[in-house]
Amino acid sequence: MTHRAGRHFLQIPGPTNVPDRILRAIDRATIDHRSGEFGELGAECLTGLKAIFQTESPVIIYPSSATGAWEAALVNTLSAGDRVLAFETGHFANLWAKVASNLGLCVDLIPGDWRRGVDAEQVAEKLAADRNHEIQAVMAVHNETSTGVRSNVPAVRHALNEAKHPALLMVDTVSSLGSIDYCHDEWGVDVAIGGSQKGMMLPPGLSFNALSPRALEASKRSTLPKSYWRWTEMLASNSKGFFPYTPATGLLYGLREAIRMLQEEGLPCVFARHARLAEAARVAARQWGLEMVAQNPSEYSNVVTALLLPDGFDEKALRSLILEKLNMSLGSGLGKLAGRAFRIGHLGDFNELMLAGTLAGVEMGLTLAGVPHRKGGVNAALEYLTRRLA
Amino acid sequence: MTHRAGRHFLQIPGPTNVPDRILRAIDRATIDHRSGEFGELGAECLTGLKAIFQTESPVIIYPSSATGAWEAALVNTLSAGDRVLAFETGHFANLWAKVASNLGLCVDLIPGDWRRGVDAEQVAEKLAADRNHEIQAVMAVHNETSTGVRSNVPAVRHALNEAKHPALLMVDTVSSLGSIDYCHDEWGVDVAIGGSQKGMMLPPGLSFNALSPRALEASKRSTLPKSYWRWTEMLASNSKGFFPYTPATGLLYGLREAIRMLQEEGLPCVFARHARLAEAARVAARQWGLEMVAQNPSEYSNVVTALLLPDGFDEKALRSLILEKLNMSLGSGLGKLAGRAFRIGHLGDFNELMLAGTLAGVEMGLTLAGVPHRKGGVNAALEYLTRRLA
Amino acid sequence: MTHRAGRHFLQIPGPTNVPDRILRAIDRATIDHRSGEFGELGAECLTGLKAIFQTESPVIIYPSSATGAWEAALVNTLSAGDRVLAFETGHFANLWAKVASNLGLCVDLIPGDWRRGVDAEQVAEKLAADRNHEIQAVMAVHNETSTGVRSNVPAVRHALNEAKHPALLMVDTVSSLGSIDYCHDEWGVDVAIGGSQKGMMLPPGLSFNALSPRALEASKRSTLPKSYWRWTEMLASNSKGFFPYTPATGLLYGLREAIRMLQEEGLPCVFARHARLAEAARVAARQWGLEMVAQNPSEYSNVVTALLLPDGFDEKALRSLILEKLNMSLGSGLGKLAGRAFRIGHLGDFNELMLAGTLAGVEMGLTLAGVPHRKGGVNAALEYLTRRLA
Amino acid sequence: MTHRAGRHFLQIPGPTNVPDRILRAIDRATIDHRSGEFGELGAECLTGLKAIFQTESPVIIYPSSATGAWEAALVNTLSAGDRVLAFETGHFANLWAKVASNLGLCVDLIPGDWRRGVDAEQVAEKLAADRNHEIQAVMAVHNETSTGVRSNVPAVRHALNEAKHPALLMVDTVSSLGSIDYCHDEWGVDVAIGGSQKGMMLPPGLSFNALSPRALEASKRSTLPKSYWRWTEMLASNSKGFFPYTPATGLLYGLREAIRMLQEEGLPCVFARHARLAEAARVAARQWGLEMVAQNPSEYSNVVTALLLPDGFDEKALRSLILEKLNMSLGSGLGKLAGRAFRIGHLGDFNELMLAGTLAGVEMGLTLAGVPHRKGGVNAALEYLTRRLA
């Protein structure tokens, strides 16, 4: 391959740019996964991750993609034919629903237009209608990576509480964890799903479940076949920092470092930084006059901004051109947004000047691709950031 | 943690010492897993791995521990209640059988004393008795990591052929792949299971399935619930070098490098090197007078040697002392060998002088721990190696 | 130290951002510097570097800072009390002249205002006046890093030729090599001085001399005491890729990789990229209304832009604020520009989006520091770049 | 190049095997060498290095090979034509004397047979004869890397004291620093010379001078031309952790880590470890029946053992064979030992099992090369080590 000068801007909404400190932590000799030294590593990761999820309940770490943690949430708590409530908030919500179907669950998928989050009122209606409590789980995606829409998880919890419905609340935090405030215990979530390669700043390869006492109880009744994803053996081994099968040691070194970095910066600062950078991206988008996929300002995502192109323009062409001429990767339109929307990732180990470069790449790309837009998006973003930093 | 001078000798039978060249390949910025650059990486890994398995059929790469690939082999080909034939050749054979049980399969586990491989005659008898062809799969572990016993896979295939039995042949190659000759197509294996952290010289975190046309056909009939492990979507995406969900990019960089390294050395040379070093380890063991767990010379493993301690001596104490005084990790006694046997890993990126250091550590450790033995094991091993190198 | 989110922008005019590919090349086990493997490494570096200097004459590689290569150029060719002609084009020209004085040479330093390059007419006058050819060497800095002024080396050569003056022509290419076209042989330079940490994209620690046949002859007559810097032993060892004393093996791995990267991109493309990015920086500066230190457009540097602040504003305060709030390092005002000018480095492994981030940081910083300027510098730069990329 | 399986054993007496922890510290983005962050790095290195030299006086760090620090010691303290006393204890002592000659000093080189250290009685005689105190410096090599002979530095100091001779005492600690006890202040050394690539466990590229108040005074009178090596500017900048010219930032990261590692292990433990491993190497050598170059047991080096081959055997052939068949680099015979002696480096980040591998490589190599020797050297070394560890 020919050398491309300068740093590549990996501005897809995950995997994100892995900071050198984490890459270097991973670049270390493997140790015996049954040694005391490993036990300390495992324990620090498991404990630290609880703080990131803001929970006192156990957290599970899988050597797998986050897709695996979706499956784990379901197979540990449910049984064949169980009914689950899902919401078509976007591509990943759909994929998770498909995982549920693949596993033999009966999925009640509330249709959506991919521009709004979970509608708590619809949740309330559905739950009210479910007199026999057939619904065993409500599956919500906290931050829908394909659309840049954040769902109001506490409102969903509120609907469950109001309806006095015993269904488990399952939340996908894959692209929100470590970037957008997520309060597992306070929000009353039963099973959360997370991954390493977004706000956690690691390469892909680790996934997480955060549990609740009710989820643990449900796991005793669940009869879906499972082995790799079984919480029981995991929890037993985890108590001393170990794992029931060979863990991905290298990535655990990285996870420990990532947790330390998030703690050094402080979670509130991490969330505020993401909020500031995201708003700057939206300021640019408004100036360009490109329509956001997300329609509801209270649901704007602080990790990714998905923008619709005017009719007749293809996001694939725009992204290819930007990759070729400006050495930046942007997120593609997924599912029904394919061809129509592109996505700017602004999460993880990210700062003002990286965002400036990113937005500059988009603005130059729009011009080079002939996409009609108002100039000055970068300028507007910089003015916003300058005010915020003053 | 206090600094321990010098290099740690990681002589457990996997994860193995990761060579710098692979660590450095992994220590690289993540790329867009939907980019053309990624497609080339994926394609090179998928193609290269076929050569390592010595197969023309597709190979699957999972972001998971090898335990996941055990599960994948089963859920893709079998259905609830299916009968499978397994052999208690050691700890990992047992664990795999347990995975099968966990998944709702009916496991016919032939008991064993952990000192011999799969008995092809027993296989023949079992198959002959199975007139209705209820057995859907025969599960064999090629190299049993807990005992240092290698099973004769072609003999098992021969038994199936002789019996004209249609059961699938599944083989665990986790600790043999890339170290001991394994010929997927020639031996007529239907599903092989592999992992990254042994002969493939990578950190743990990737697992493999190698398939056969018959396995692919079986997968169409299989009804066990599955999603993460589904071959269908994998194979569809793999055709262009991509994956249906986010792959572990960092480890794939490492896998590409590992495949290149094995090809540069040449598989026959890799196998010969392992054979030579393993025999040297056994020469030392014989001199020490320690009994090998493996009883049948034709079944000696070329990747790990498990040695029994005399009564009254605990392998845990021996290994702790060696770790503390000599900075070397040895493999523990697993399952019913706990306390009684320790294991010397001699696989992966390994050579004569590393083996010399390893055996020296064992010999010094035996003396320090007061374990009765004949001196001169290292010496004998060096004489053997010298003759082989002359 | 507290974690700073996101990548640091190291926009001093060197050391520059070291690309991962080079960092990883350096991160390798040391090899025996008397082995055949080392000889190949040394030979590839020495040969490759000749192509970068565009010379057929030998190139010397020192384990030292570039300051050492200044000294080497002088002590190898001159004798105590020799007269040399130098030009006060900026801080580094002055430092080099001071090195000459320290070594006992008689330096004829033509004063300058630090805003222009070497004046070829002045050179011609000086040479004409030197009837007895007492001047032994003319010392010019190709790109003055402290001011962002490039001197016209061919014009200096022309002056020497016209005057038929035998003085050696010595040129400091520390901040131009690998970034701005430098043609050692074509331009008739006798000794060039280079370093690893600018356009060569390496960490600091290596320095270079490129020679000429006349320089080699002069070295036979030179009587300044020398040992570490002696070309003679170097050239003798270099013929087989070795060095007379222990070389900096790690940095040589990096140098080999850097040369490969420059060759993959192609030197003309490297120079064009630097020119394009530099002009974009100047477009921004013009829009801001900040005065460039460089006064002569034909002498603008393509690697660094030095800008004067209005009276009453201190560059130290501006740079501290930008470092603290925006995680970017800019170059300080050096020597008589201290307090008055700051410098933007735009060289090495650098591209459009990194420049956009850099200029955004300057523009935000100017506002935050209350420095009067016209907005829209980044915008203007992006428009320029967009036109160039169309 | 073809892949060589397993870790290379770099057992030359420096550069030594760089531990991963140091390699990873070096593999880090360059920072602004004028920033506060750099100042902290520089200060920690400069202070920490004083503890390693066991001195309260300043230490100088050069971006250069150790050869440069030889030159620095001389040019900072002496003047043209000054007389210095040197001792032909081996190849490096000779080279240092040659540096002195190159620089115009008048070297009084006491001949030696390369098998003994500096003879304090000869020193006393020489000093007594020097009534006019013409000798300005006495140059001793603490550990002669080419012969494996350690000189008694306190005895040399004693001779100077007894003679009330004002000459400066200069000591080369290149291959002893961080491996063999060296007490700069207690022993009354005026200038010490060190390097990064031996006991300091770094790649080559940094060198050191440790000073004394008398050396600093001498530097005021010294008139040898100097610039790069001048202590004055160094000390002025060093007071705040900075350097007068661009330092080798990457290697300084590594130096900081090396100092931390030595402090974690504790210097007395580091020295004891080297002593133990060195004696084990000598035990093996005695068993082999190979003659050590070093003749005086009280002068045996704890970092390198040089062994003579019987007549008719060439060390080059032996080392080539060991490199080719066993992937280990041994030190060549240097100077008049070329062809006759080979050297085993056992210093730096080194431990028992690495030594076992090293000695095994030598023993196998001796047999393979047909060199007459008694078997059992490794065995004897292991027995010695076992006793020491009991």
What would the DSSP string read from start to end of B140-158? EESEETTTTEE--HHHHHH
Residue A1 belongs to a domain? no
Q: What distance in Å separates the CA atoms of residue D192 and residue D215, rounded to the nearest whole number?
A: 10
CA distances from A93 to A138, A151, A173, A175, C96 (A): 12, 11, 11, 12, 65
CB-CB under 8 Å, D225 with C102: yes
Nearest beta carbon to residue D29 from set A20, A27, A28: A20
Report the alpha-carbon angle C125-C127-C131, nearest 5. 115
CB-CB under 8 Å, A261 with C3: yes
Residues B78 and B119 in one domain: yes
Nearest chain D residue (CA) to C104: D225
Query: What secondary structure letter does DSSP report for C14?
Result: S
Q: Which of C212, C229, C263 is the last residue of a domain?
A: C263
Q: What distance in Å separates the CA atoms of residue D139 and residue C244, rounded to the nearest whole number?
A: 21
Q: Is C339 left (phi over 0), alpha (psi -120 to 50) or beta?
A: left
Cβ-Cβ contacts under 8 Å, B329 against chain A: 31-32, 35
Cβ-Cβ contacts under 8 Å, A71 against chain B: 227-228
With a pLDDT cut of 70, the percent of chain B lying above it is 99
Q: What stretch of H or E contains B39?
A: helix B36-53
CB-CB under 8 Å, D261 with B3: yes
Q: What distance in Å separates the CA atoms of residue A306 and residue A337, rounded to the nearest whole number?
A: 10
Residues D318 and D276 in one domain: yes
Q: Which of A263, A294, A325 is the last residue of a domain?
A: A263
pLDDT of B99: 98
Is the Cβ of C316 closer than 8 Å to some Cβ of chain D?
A: no
Cβ-Cβ contacts under 8 Å, B28 against chain C: 20, 24
Mean pLDDT of C192-213: 98
pLDDT digits (tens, 9 = 90+) for A207-250: 999 999 999 999 999 999 999 999 999 999 999 999 999 999 99
Q: How far is D241 from chain A (nearest CA, A)?
A: 24
Mean pLDDT of B317-326: 98
Q: Between A and C, how many CB-CB pairs are < 8 A?
A: 136
Is the Cβ of A390 closer than 8 Å to some Cβ of chain C?
A: yes
pLDDT of A201: 98
* Whether C340 contacts C296, CB under 8 Å: no
Is the Cβ of D30 closer than 8 Å to some Cβ of chain A?
A: no
- Against chain D, the chains showing at least 3 CB pairs within 8 Å are A, B, C
Nearest beta carbon to residue B9 from set D19, D326, D353: D353
Nearest beta carbon to residue D357 from set B17, B354, B390: B354
Residues B355 and B281 in one domain: yes
CB-CB under 8 Å, D349 with B6: yes
pLDDT of C160: 98
Q: How far is D319 from chain B (nearest CA, A)?
A: 15
Model confidence band, residue B1 (pLDDT cutoffs 50, 70, 90)? very low
Q: Which of B199, B230, B263 is the last residue of a domain?
A: B263
pLDDT digits (tens, 9 = 90+) for B262-314: 999 999 999 999 999 999 999 999 999 999 999 999 999 999 999 999 999 99
Q: Supply the mean pLDDT for chain B.
A: 97
- Against chain C, the chains showing at least 3 CB pairs within 8 Å are A, B, D
Name the token pair of C235: 């050239």
Q: Between B and C, how many CB-CB pairs are < 8 A?
A: 10
The residue among A22, A18, A43 whose CA lies nearest residue A242 is A43
Residue B202 belongs to a domain? yes
Nearest beta carbon to residue D353 from set B264, B265, B328: B328
pLDDT of C4: 86
Nearest beta carbon to residue C390 from set A368, A376, A390: A368
Is the Cβ of A29 closer than 8 Å to some Cβ of chain B?
A: yes
Residues B122 and B209 in one domain: yes
pLDDT of B3: 59
Q: Supply the mean pLDDT for chain D.
A: 97
CB-CB under 8 Å, D37 with C204: no
Cβ-Cβ contacts under 8 Å, B385 against chain D: 364
Model confidence band, residue B4 (pLDDT cutoffs 50, 70, 90)? confident
Is the Cβ of A28 closer than 8 Å to some Cβ of chain B?
A: yes
Residue A154 belongs to a domain? yes
pLDDT of B167: 98
* Whether A342 contacts A298, CB under 8 Å: no
Residues C256 and C284 in one domain: no
CB-CB under 8 Å, D31 with C27: no
Q: Quick check: pTM over 0.90?
A: yes
Q: What are phi and psi of C384, to 5 degrees?
A: -60, -50
Is the Cβ of A351 closer than 8 Å to some Cβ of chain C?
A: yes
3-class SS shares of chain B: helix, strand, coil, % to 5: 45, 15, 40
Q: Between B and D, how many CB-CB pairs are < 8 A?
A: 136
Model confidence band, residue D4 (pLDDT cutoffs 50, 70, 90)? confident
Q: How far is C30 from chain B (nearest CA, A)?
A: 12
Nearest beta carbon to residue B227 from set A10, A99, A323: A99
pLDDT of A4: 86
- Against chain B, the chains showing at least 3 CB pairs within 8 Å are A, C, D
Structure-token match 């052939």, residue found: D317
Residue B47 belongs to a domain? yes
Residues A212 and A301 in one domain: no
Which parts of chain A sit beneath pLDDT 70? 1-3
CB-CB under 8 Å, A356 with C6: no
Residue D139 belongs to a domain? yes
pLDDT of A294: 98
Q: How far is D386 from chain C (nearest CA, A)?
A: 30
Q: Between A and B, how many CB-CB pairs are < 8 A?
A: 180
Name the token pair of D139: 């140059």
Q: How far is D368 from chain C (nearest CA, A)?
A: 21
Name the token pair of D40: 């902290």
pLDDT of residue C20 exceeding 90, the answer is yes
Mean pLDDT of C222-248: 97
Nearest chain A residue (CA) to C263: A3
Residues A277 and A215 in one domain: no
Report the alpha-carbon angle B317-B323-B325, nearest 5. 95
Q: How many domains does chain B have?
A: 2
Q: What are phi and psi of B16, to 5 degrees?
A: -105, 170
Angle between helix A213-221 and helix A231-238 axes, rounded to 10 deg: 130
Residue B4 belongs to a domain? no
Model confidence band, residue C1 (pLDDT cutoffs 50, 70, 90)? very low
Mean pLDDT of B109-136: 97
Domain that holds residue C253: 20-263
pLDDT digits (tens, 9 = 90+) for C28-65: 999 999 999 999 999 999 999 999 999 999 999 999 99
Residues B208 and B77 in one domain: yes
pLDDT digits (tens, 9 = 90+) for A332-388: 999 999 999 999 999 999 999 999 999 999 999 999 999 999 999 999 999 999 999
Residue D2 belongs to a domain? no
CATH of the domain at B298: 3.90.1150.10
Alpha helix stretches (DSSP H) within chain A: 20-26, 36-53, 66-75, 91-102, 120-129, 153-162, 213-221, 231-238, 249-265, 267-288, 315-326, 352-368, 377-389
pLDDT of A3: 59
* Whether D316 contacts D323, CB under 8 Å: no
Is the Cβ of D34 closer than 8 Å to some Cβ of chain C?
A: yes
Query: What secondary structure letter does DSSP report for D297?
Result: G
Q: What distance in Å separates the CA atoms of residue A261 and residue A253, rounded to the nearest whole number?
A: 13
pLDDT of residue D2 exceeding 70, the answer is no
CATH of the domain at B229: 3.40.640.10
Residues C237 and C207 in one domain: yes
Nearest chain C residue (CA) to A388: C368
Mean pLDDT of D70-85: 98
pLDDT of residue C3 exceeding 70, the answer is no
Name the token pair of A60: 């599970």
Is the Cβ of C47 closer than 8 Å to some Cβ of chain D?
A: no
pLDDT of B278: 98
Mean pLDDT of B145-152: 98
Structure-token match 């030159």, residue found: D71
Residues C274 and C384 in one domain: yes
Residues A26 and A102 in one domain: yes
pLDDT digits (tens, 9 = 90+) for C321-379: 999 999 999 999 999 999 999 999 999 999 999 999 999 999 999 999 999 999 999 99
pLDDT of B349: 98
pLDDT digits (tens, 9 = 90+) for A54-65: 999 999 999 999
Q: Check the CA dihedral B3-B9-B11-B14 and report its sign.
A: positive
Q: How far is B319 from chain D (nearest CA, A)?
A: 15
Is the Cβ of C264 closer than 8 Å to some Cβ of chain A?
A: yes
Residues B98 and B238 in one domain: yes
* Chain B stretch 131-190, residues whose beta carbon is closer than 8 A to a beta carbon of chain A: none
Cβ-Cβ contacts under 8 Å, A28 against chain D: 20, 24
Q: What are phi and psi of A308, to 5 degrees?
A: -85, 140
Residue B109 belongs to a domain? yes
Cβ-Cβ contacts under 8 Å, C27 against chain B: 24, 27
